[in-house]
Structure 1
Amino acid sequence: MRQSTQKNYTLLFTALVLGLGWAVRGHFGHEWGAAWAGAMGALAIVVSSGRADWQQSAPKLAALGAVGWAIGGMMSYGMIVGYCRGTEFLNVAYGYTMLLIVGGLYGFMGGGLLGLGLESSEDKKIDFPTLFTQMLAGGWLFWGLVIFQLEWLMTPPRSELWAACFGAAIALAWYLYREGFYKALRVAAYAALGGGFGFSFGNFIQTLGSASGYIYNWWNVMEFTLGFCGGLGMAYAVKTSNWKTSLKPSKTANWLALLFVFFAVPATNYITSFDKKHLTQLAANLKIQNVEQFVKNQQLIVALVLLFFVIASISQWKAFQKQDKHENSPIAVYLLFGISFYYILFAYLLHGLFLKPIDLYHSESLYVPILLMIFALWFFQKDKKENVSKHIKVKESWRTWAIIGVGLLLVILIMTSISINAHEGLGGMHNRF
C-alpha cells in the first residue's frame, strides 16, 4: 500500500510540475519557453526520486530536460489546432492525429535526453558530440526527404520543422538502442505517449470549452494538459525501471548546467519577451500614462528578478557542494521551487498582473495555487520517499505497445465524433483536405 501511494505521489507530483511549466510556457513559446518547462519536469523527477546520486547531478539533469523538451519548440501547430475546430470528420481526425505526433515528439526527446542522464554510469557513458551530430544530421536529412522530396506537408503554409524533429527523434532512438540505453528509450517512449495523448486530448478539451461559449483561456488548458500527461508518462517510466547509480558529472559540467538553466534560459526569454514593443502595448492595455517610464521600470524589475534567482541558485549550489553528506540535502527542492516561482514571476510581469485586479476567468490566476498544491504534495511526502530503484519493475512487450496504439486510435475516433457534433464550426477553423 505504501509503495503504491509513493508511486502515485511521484506520478502526480511530476505531472503537476510539468503541466504548470508547460502552461506558463504558453506565454513565452518556442524553444526557450519549452526549455524552462523541461528543466522543471526533470527537477521534479529528481526531487520525488529520493536518490542522492541524482541530486548530485540535479543541474545536469535539469539542463538535459530543458534541451530535450526545447527541441520540439521549433514545431508549428497553430494550423493543426484549427483543423480540430472544423466539422468534417477527416479534417478533424487528421488534426487530432497530428497533435498526437507533435506532442509525442516533444515528449520523446524530452524524456529521452533526461533518461540518458539518469542511465549514464561509469561503464556506460554518453558520447554527446556523436549523439547531437547524429540528431542534427537525422533531422536535416529527414526534413529534406519528407518535405522537399516527398512533399508530405503537415501544416501548409506554416513551417514544416516537425519533420526535422521527427528525424532527430529517430536518430536519438537509434542511438539509445545501439548503445544499450534501454531504460532511457523506455522513458522516451512513455513521455512521447503522454505528451502525444496530452496534446490531442488537451485540444479536445479546448474545442469543447470553446463550443460551450464559456469564456476562458482554453488554449492554456490544452498546454497544461500536454505537460501534465507528458510528465505522467515520463514519471511512470522512471518509477517502474531499475536504475543503477548514475555517473556523477564534473563540477564544471554541473556549474555550466546551472548557469544554463538559471541564467541563459531566463535571460533569453527576457530578451525576446520583454522588448519595448510588447511593453508599450501592455502599457496601452493597462492605460498607463507615462509609457516610457513604465517600459524602463518593467525591464528593470525583470532584470532584478533574474539577477536575484541567479545569485540565489549559485549560493545554494555552492553551499551544497561544501556539505560532506548529500543524502538529506534539500538542494533539488530549492532548485525546483525556485525555478518554478521564477517562471511564474516572469509570466506575471509579462502580463502586468500585479497592476490589475485578479481575474479568476484567466488561467494565470491558477499558477500560484497549483504551485502551492505541488509544495503540499512534497511537504506531506518528503519523509516517506523511497529510493526509486526499489519499486516494482514493469517490462512491456510489442503486444502491449500494439494495444496502446489501437487504444489511441479509438480515442482519436471518439474525440473526432464528439467534436464534429458539438458545434457548427468554431473560429479559427481550417481544412486540410
Structure 2
Amino acid sequence: MSENTQTPNPPLWLAVLATAMAGGMGWGIRGQYGHETGAMIAGVLVSLVLVFLFCPNNRSIHVVRAAALGTIAMGFGGSMTYGQTVGLTHDSPLIGNWAAFRWGMLGLAIKGGVWIGFAGLFLGIGLGGKRYRPFEMFLLMLGMLMAVVFGWWLFNTPHDPDNQRLPFFYFSDHWQWEPGATLKHRPEIWGGLLTALVSGILYAALAKGDRLARNLALWGMLGGALGLPLGQALQASNAWNPGM
C-alpha cells in the first residue's frame, strides 16, 4: 500500500469477529470443493474483510491485488493432506490413545502454521508498500518452488509404505497407530511448504525490508499453529466423551 495513505484503526474486536465469521463461513463452504480451490474460498473472504477494514481509502487496484495474493496463498495450504492427521485425534480405534492424539495435534499445529503463514506472508506483500516487480515475483516463486522440492525431500521422504518406509515426521495414519488395519498412506508435502514459507519470509524481511509481510507471516503461523489444534480439540472432546 502507499506509504502516505492514512491507516484506519478499527476496533480489535470488530476485526477479530468479522474475520472469524468470514473464515468460518468460507471454511464451511470449502468442504464442498476441497483442496486448493476450496481453501481459496476462505482465503478470499478473509482477505476482503481485512483489506476493507484496514484499507478503505486505498486505490481499488491495491486492494484487489492484496486480496488476490492472500487468496492464492491460502490455496497453497490446500495441497497438504490433513484428514488422517485429524483422524489421529478422534477416530474410533484411536480413542484413548494419547500418543496418537498428541502426534495428531502436533501435526495439525505444523500444518496449520504453514497454511495460515502463507496467507499472512502474501497478504503482507500486497499491503506492505514495498514494490515487488513482476520479474522479481517470478524469481521469488521460482526460488520458493525449489525450496518446496528440497523441503519435501528433507522432511517428507521416503514414502514407501509397501516396504514400511515412511518419513520420521509423518502425521498421517499408519501401522504404528493401527496395526493390522488396511490403510491408505497419504504422501505429505508440509515439509516442502514449510521450507518455502521460511525462504519467502527471509526474502521479504532481509532483501526487501518488508516488515508487514514478515509480521503477518509470523502472526499467521502462530494463529494457524494454535487455531487448528484448538478447533480440533472441540471435535475430539466430543468423540472421546460421547456422553457429555
Task: Give the residue type in structure 1 aligned to 2:194.
Answer: F
**C-alpha displacement of 1:191:** 1.5
1:151 aligned to 2:167?
A: yes
Distance 1:83 1:43 in 2: 34
Q: 1:131–1:201: structure 2 CA closer, same or farther, 3 Å change rule?
A: same
Checking the alignment, whether the CA contact within 8 Å between 2:36 and 2:79 is kept in structure 1 is yes
Checking the alignment, whether the CA contact within 8 Å between 1:39 and 1:64 is kept in structure 2 is no
Corresponding residue for residue 147 of structure 2: 138
Q: Say which of 78, 97, 118 aligns to 1:109.
A: 118
1:209 aligned to 2:220?
A: no
Corresponding residue for residue 291 of structure 1: none
Distance 1:96 1:64 in 2: 29
Corresponding residue for residue 48 of structure 2: 43
* Paired residues for 1:230-309 under 5 Å: none
Unaligned runs of 5+ in 1: 215-421, 423-433
Corresponding residue for residue 85 of structure 2: 80
Deviations 1:373-402 (A, max 9, x none): xxxxxxxxxxxxxxxxxxxxxxxxxxxxxx
- Secondary structure (helix, strand or coil) at the match of 1:52 reads coil
1:7 aligned to 2:16?
A: no
1:177 aligned to 2:205?
A: yes
- Secondary structure (helix, strand or coil) at the match of 1:180 reads coil
Runs of 4+ in 1 over 3 A off after TM superposition: 210-214
Q: 1:184–1:4: structure 2 CA closer, same or farther, 3 Å change rule?
A: closer
Checking the alignment, whether the CA contact within 8 Å between 1:99 and 1:196 is kept in structure 2 is yes
Corresponding residue for residue 186 of structure 1: 215
Q: Which structure's relative contact order is higher, taking Cα pairs within 8 Å and 6+ residues apart?
A: 1
* Paired residues for 1:115-126 under 5 Å: 115-121=124-130, 124-126=131-133
- Secondary structure (helix, strand or coil) at the match of 1:200 reads helix
* Paired residues for 1:346-357 under 5 Å: none
Checking the alignment, whether the CA contact within 8 Å between 1:176 and 1:185 is kept in structure 2 is yes
**C-alpha displacement of 1:66:** 1.2
Distance 1:70 1:101 in 2: 16
Checking the alignment, whether the CA contact within 8 Å between 1:47 and 1:55 is kept in structure 2 is no
Task: Give the residue type in structure 1 aligned to 2:110.
Answer: I
TM-score normalised over the length of structure 2? 0.79
Task: Give the residue type in structure 2 aligned to 1:203.
Answer: Q
Distance 1:61 1:16 in 2: 20
Unaligned runs of 5+ in 2: 1-7, 159-165, 175-184
1:89 aligned to 2:123?
A: no
Distance 1:209 1:92 in 2: 14
Q: Say which of 188, 192, 196 aligns to 1:160.
A: 188
Checking the alignment, whether the CA contact within 8 Å between 1:75 and 1:161 is kept in structure 2 is yes
**C-alpha displacement of 1:211:** 4.0
Q: What RMSD in Å do the two structures reach over aligned CA positions?
A: 2.3
Checking the alignment, whether the CA contact within 8 Å between 2:104 and 2:171 is kept in structure 1 is no
**C-alpha displacement of 1:212:** 4.9
Distance 2:88 2:138 in 1: 39
- Secondary structure (helix, strand or coil) at the match of 1:131 reads helix
TM-score normalised over the length of structure 1? 0.46
Structure with more helix by fraction:
1
Checking the alignment, whether the CA contact within 8 Å between 1:84 and 1:96 is kept in structure 2 is yes
Q: Say which of 71, 76, 82 aligns to 2:76.
A: 71
**C-alpha displacement of 1:147:** 2.5
Percent identical pairs in the alignment equals 27
Checking the alignment, whether the CA contact within 8 Å between 1:46 and 1:54 is kept in structure 2 is no
